[in-house]
């Protein structure tokens, strides 16, 4: 069945989309739940069981495989509740007529079933009930696993087997659930986790090519997609969708490419799409045969989706028309839509008031990956208060990213008090110039307890106990948040996405491709500053490659938008000027890199 909408709601933080499918899937909208925090999932499960008068039995952390069981139980509950809502929409009774109309009103105007429904508007609801049941599709309840957040686990001091690691347990929790949906794998390749997938029946295709639990791979370039696709195909596992995300113009963790911009990356996927499908299919079939598994009659389908920084209907449609993507992810703006996401009131007010200066690419993530954040968030305030008291670092109550083994045999988190104490102690032994010492000290103490902070907002929004977590909230909007300045209803934002309303975004907002280029240039400047103390040949090579890739991407955009006749008419001139300015800045940065390299050598 074809998807109802041409957009999806990506995972946001740990708690912001924790129950989004229950709010939007009845309207045919796909969304994604994070599986990082089983403690939070268990609390929300208890809340919904109470609300819907469903018997609740706690899954204690004292029982075997509690993490996977919590995840399975939560996903089954959300699935059951969402399916009931969807069945109510499809019931086609007079009592539910408004819900049914809302489903169709939200669809894009180009939707074939929307047009067909309008043509049947004079027919009584009972007469169209069978048609409705056949045509309407429920939004997919997808899950996200950060592949590298795969902490070892212990029991009675003994390390448990690899399948008990956090990401493995999350995968097992999803695999054992009733869901027929997709698992999005993000944050890079984890061969051991990928190999674990082949143990579960639901990930394999049947004769018709149907896969109960599909794999979606979030990637930042074509080469990575090809490598990972082939790796899984050798195990008989098919990737059903490649989700391309802007390296830096996105929310949450920002996996910066080596200066490769989103447009050229999407162009390569478009050009090589059939080649990608064929080359991986040629590996998959022999692998399935070797496992004595069912061989699909036809070649399996592959979808391409894109997300990161999209903010107007014109940009949305451009990605679909120009790059032939199947779906466009809209994340950050949905943080201001209470009907879709779960954000506490104070955080939502801060997000609505945020301007460009309030949104920045930080180094607060314990994973050591750049992280888009909001200045003045309460988790950072909590962190600074501890620093002022001479007690930097978090007590680390959840330990989901306790992965660093620099000082200990068992992993600890770089945002933890234990790690920061050891790291500062090590720093104090070095005889460094004060400026360099302060720079390195700030790098240590800026890490924040995001695995707690990114889930707390959901607890506050539902007035649940925050005794363990505290009330500090980390929030991870993309730069796009600066141009959306009010809370919105679900219909408002969807009308905006499909070009039925144009008053939600500020007029000064830069085009998404221009914004991404400028973010990459700022990122490059910071990397040059970091290397300025003593630039090595390796750093020089990396930085020069980064500049060259940005120059190539910018020239691609200049050529693309110069040739367009009927797109971005109102902003084309300013966009081309912005790209010219970008080229000039990159030339200056290239000269700066050369000069720094000469001084260091």
Dihedral sign, CA of 117, 121, 124, 127? negative
3-state secondary structure of 228: helix
Candidate from 154-163, 224-233, 508-517 with smallest mean pLDDT: 154-163
pLDDT at 564 over 90: no
pLDDT at 275 over 70: yes
Three-class DSSP labels, 234-303: CCCCCEEEEEEECCCCCCCECCCCCCCCHHHHHHHHHHHHHHHHHHHHHHHHHHHHHCCCCCCCCCCCCE
The Cβ of residue 460 has, within 10 Å, a number of other Cβ atoms equal to: 20
Arithmetic mean of pLDDT, 60-66: 93
pLDDT for the residue 345: 97
Q: pLDDT tens digits for 341-395? A: 999 999 999 999 999 999 999 999 999 999 999 999 999 999 999 999 999 999 9
Mean pLDDT (the chain, rounded): 94
pLDDT at 97 over 60: yes
Candidate from 156-160, 247-251, 525-529 with smallest mean pLDDT: 156-160
* DSSP bridge partners of 215: 183, 239
CATH topology of domain 510-601: Methane Monooxygenase Hydroxylase; Chain G, domain 1 (1.20.58)
CA 152 to chain centre: 24
Dihedral sign, CA of 123, 125, 130, 136? positive
- The domains of the chain are located at 344-474, 510-601
d(CA 439, CA 41): 38
pTM for this prediction? 0.96
Q: Is 51 exposed, middle or buried (0-12, 13-18, 19+ CB in 10 A)?
A: exposed
- Helix locations, 446-511, DSSP H: 450-461, 490-497
Q: Show Cβ contacts of residue 454 under 8 Å, excluding neighbours closer than 6 positions.
A: 13, 14, 15, 16, 474, 475, 476
| Local confidence band at 573 (pLDDT 50, 70, 90 cut-offs) | very high
Task: Give percent above pLDDT 70 in the chain.
Answer: 98
């Amino acid at each position: 069945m074809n998807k109802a909408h041409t957009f999806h709601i990506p995972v946001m933080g740990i708690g912001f989309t924790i129950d989004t499918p229950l709010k939007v899937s009845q309207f045919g909208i796909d969304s994604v739940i994070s599986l990082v925090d089983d403690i939070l999932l268990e609390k929300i499960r208890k809340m919904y069981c109470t609300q819907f008068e469903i018997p609740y039995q706690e899954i204690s952390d004292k029982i075997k495989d509690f993490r996977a069981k919590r995840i399975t139980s939560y996903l089954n509950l959300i699935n059951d509740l969402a399916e009931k809502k969807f069945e109510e929409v499809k019931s086609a009774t007079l009592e539910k007529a408004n819900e049914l109309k809302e489903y169709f009103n939200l669809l894009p105007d180009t939707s074939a079933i929307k047009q067909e429904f309008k043509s049947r508007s004079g027919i009584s609801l009972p007469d169209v009930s069978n048609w409705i049941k056949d045509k309407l599709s429920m939004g997919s309840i997808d899950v996200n696993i950060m592949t590298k957040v795969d902490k070892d686990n212990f029991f009675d001091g003994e390390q448990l087997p690899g399948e008990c690691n956090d990401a493995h347990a999350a995968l097992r929790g999803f695999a054992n659930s009733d869901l027929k949906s997709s698992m999005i794998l993000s944050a890079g390749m984890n061969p051991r986790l990928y190999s674990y997938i082949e143990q579960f029946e639901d990930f394999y295709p049947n004769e018709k090519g149907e896969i109960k639990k599909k794999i979606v791979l979030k990637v930042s370039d074509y080469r990575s997609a090809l490598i990972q696709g082939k790796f899984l195909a050798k195990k008989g596992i098919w990737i059903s969708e490649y989700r391309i995300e802007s390296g830096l113009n996105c929310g949450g963790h920002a996996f910066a490419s080596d200066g490769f911009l989103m447009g050229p990356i999407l162009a390569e996927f478009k050009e090589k799409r059939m080649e990608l499908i064929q080359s991986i299919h040629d590996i998959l079939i022999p692998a399935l045969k070797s496992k004595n598994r069912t061989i699909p009659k036809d070649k399996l389908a592959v979808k391409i989706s894109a997300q990161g920084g999209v903010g107007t209907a014109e940009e949305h449609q451009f990605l679909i028309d120009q790059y032939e993507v199947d779906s466009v992810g809209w994340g950050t703006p949905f943080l201001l839509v209470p009907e879709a996401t779960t954000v506490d009131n104070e955080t939502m007010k801060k997000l609505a008031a945020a301007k460009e200066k309030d949104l920045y690419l930080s180094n607060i993530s314990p994973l050591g990956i750049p992280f888009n954040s909001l200045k003045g968030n309460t988790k950072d305030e909590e962190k600074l208060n501890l620093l002022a008291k001479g007690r930097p670092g978090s007590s680390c109550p959840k330990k989901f990213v306790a992965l660093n083994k620099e000082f200990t045999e068992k992993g600890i988190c770089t945002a933890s008090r234990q790690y920061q104490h050891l790291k500062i102690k090590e720093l104090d032994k070095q005889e460094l110039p004060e400026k360099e010492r302060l720079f390195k000290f700030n790098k240590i103490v800026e890490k924040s307890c995001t695995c707690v902070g990114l889930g707390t907002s959901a607890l506050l929004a539902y007035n649940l106990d925050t005794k363990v977590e505290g009330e500090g909230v980390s929030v991870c909007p993309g730069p796009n948040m600066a141009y959306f300045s009010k809370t919105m209803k679900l219909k408002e934002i969807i009308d905006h996405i499909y070009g039925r309303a144009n008053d939600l975004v500020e007029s000064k907002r830069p085009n998404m491709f221009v914004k991404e280029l400028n973010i990459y240039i700022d990122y490059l400047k910071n990397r040059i500053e970091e290397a300025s103390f003593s630039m090595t040949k390796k750093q020089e090579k990396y930085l020069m490659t980064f500049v060259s890739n940005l120059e190539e991407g910018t020239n691609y955009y200049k050529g693309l938008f110069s040739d367009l006749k009927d797109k971005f008419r109102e902003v084309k001139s300013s966009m081309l000027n912005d790209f010219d300015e970008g080229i000039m800045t990159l030339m200056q940065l290239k000269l700066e890199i050369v000069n720094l390299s000469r001084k260091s050598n």
